Amino acid sequence: MNKRIVLLAICAAFTTSLISCGDSNEPVTTNNNSGVETVSSAETADPTTTPPEATDKYAGRTYRIFNGFGLETKYIEPNIYPEEMTGDVYSDSLYQRCMDTEDRLGITIEVTDGTLSQIKTSVAAADDFADLTFADLSNVMSLVLENYCIDFYEIPNISLDKVWWDQNAEEKLSFEGKLFYTFNDSITTQTDNCRTIYFNKEMADDLQLPDLYDMVRNGTWTFDKLEEYALMAVSDLNGDTRFDGNDRYGIVNWGVTGLGEALLTGADCEIVMQGDDGVPYFNCFTERFNTVYTRILDIMNNGNLFYVGNAVNMLKSGQALFIVDSLGSAPNLRDTDVDFGILPIPKYDEEQESYWNVSPNPHAMLVPVTCSDLDFAGAVMEEMAYQSHITVLPAYYDNMLKGKVARDEDSLEMLDLIHNSVSYVIKIIGVEFSDAIYTEMANDNYDLSSMLASWQESVETQLDEVLSQFKN
């Protein structure tokens, strides 16, 4: 049974009974009339969906989570374990997830909020301070290269092939056969931070656009279609012949970098990519990168199709057909009368196999090298990920769907697709090089050859130095 059908079944059951207490490990079933496949006991025998076994081996132990960015950013859930149920669906799901994990293993979960510098200080002092912590992708490599993290492949009692672990993260973030940071369903920062497309449904109908959801399903939602439909929406609303914040646009985003990064990833053409041999390389020096980069500039500069501004406000005011923003922005649209839908970032063309949605700077899971009991750490991590998959993830979807997005299978399906097609920026060296590329894009420079040539020797040397540390 594939991950999408499992999630749709869980979410369908969840909309009937938002949070259920007690034993969460019974197979989920749904009404066959809903159009969602029933999950039977036989189907849960699929090794990628089989729950971890309950055990009393760790009874009385305390599992310590150090929320390393709980005080510093909106992209880490600051309330991993709420004090009580409040009636808020998402918050209550976090509480229930932790309670069920504690009950199944006979343990106590303890959460401490702190900072990145505290993580570094604790590890440097050989302090066994946590079984799990987090770091954002801009800072995580500093922890890895200082040997502050455990390789996830060395942690017992976790199964990275299970549906509650992110296999995209494993594929894109493992280097030289080692995985020092990753993601699973116990956190939602990767999905919150994920770039997606919101569209004005009424405007799409007025423009007589085809069913965009069906286009996603049949693989025809591409750069060409995004550009074609965006051009149809452009309008000088006040008739003053000047395009500014008072007019209507096809695509709105907060900046060139935001749209450029989203489209490069959507085209499966990031600046740094993972090779088939598991070794990262600079894709920006390839011919395909130049082709995709040029195509993105063509879209940005096609008439008045693209506008840099407050995307959410422009969608609310009916001045944008498409906006590119984080999935975590969805709740900010609840107070609008605009009926909007959610789509993945389009593919480059129909030949491309998959959709990809960039999550530039989420907060990854790490196990500090000072953790003294990896057997215990792995067992709790696995149980918590499973409980999150069946409880938190459906509540997260429900939270995204509240308000103006209909609770229908189309919406669930798009959210599920986006959740399962998150792509991560490989920040294996500093951001100066990628920033330079996006500066050229912002300056409408179609010819990157001289700029890339000036950087190539330096960045490839940096990459070689980093990779050599992974081999040791």
pLDDT tens profile 154-178? 999 999 999 999 999 999 999 888 9
Span 409-431, average pLDDT: 87
Q: Which residue has the higher pLDDT, 25 or 180?
A: 180
- The mean of the pLDDT values for the chain is 87
CATH numbers and ranges of domains, the chain: 3-192+361-405 (3.40.190.10), 195-359+429-471 (3.40.190.10)
Span 372-382, average pLDDT: 98
The residue assigned the tokens 């709420």 is 82
Q: Give residue 386's pLDDT.
A: 98
Q: Does residue 324 register a pLDDT over 90?
A: yes
Q: What is the model's pTM?
A: 0.87
Token pair for 174: 């493992």
Q: Does residue 15 register a pLDDT over 60?
A: no
Lowest model confidence (mean pLDDT) among 49-53, 138-142, 375-379, 445-449:
138-142
Q: Does residue 29 register a pLDDT over 70?
A: no
Q: Give residue 406's pLDDT.
A: 45
The residue assigned the tokens 């510093």 is 72
Q: Give residue 39's pLDDT.
A: 42
Token pair for 178: 């080692």
Q: Does residue 436 register a pLDDT over 90?
A: yes
Beta carbons of 160 and 152 less than 8 angstroms apart: yes
SS3 state of residue 420: coil
- Spatial CA neighbour of 10 closest among 42, 50, 48, 37: 37
The residue assigned the tokens 């609770």 is 407
Token pair for 41: 């006991």
Span 132-152, average pLDDT: 91
Characterize the bridge pairing of strands 340-343 and 195-200: antiparallel
Neighbours of 91 (CB within 10 A): 18
Torsion 74-76-81-85 (CA) sign: positive
Band (pLDDT 50/70/90 cuts) for residue 19 is very low
- Spatial CA neighbour of 10 closest among 44, 42, 45, 54: 44
SS3 state of residue 448: coil
Sort residue 87 into left (φ over 0), alpha (ψ -120 to 50) or beta.
left
How far apart CA 192 and CA 458 sit, in angstroms, is 34
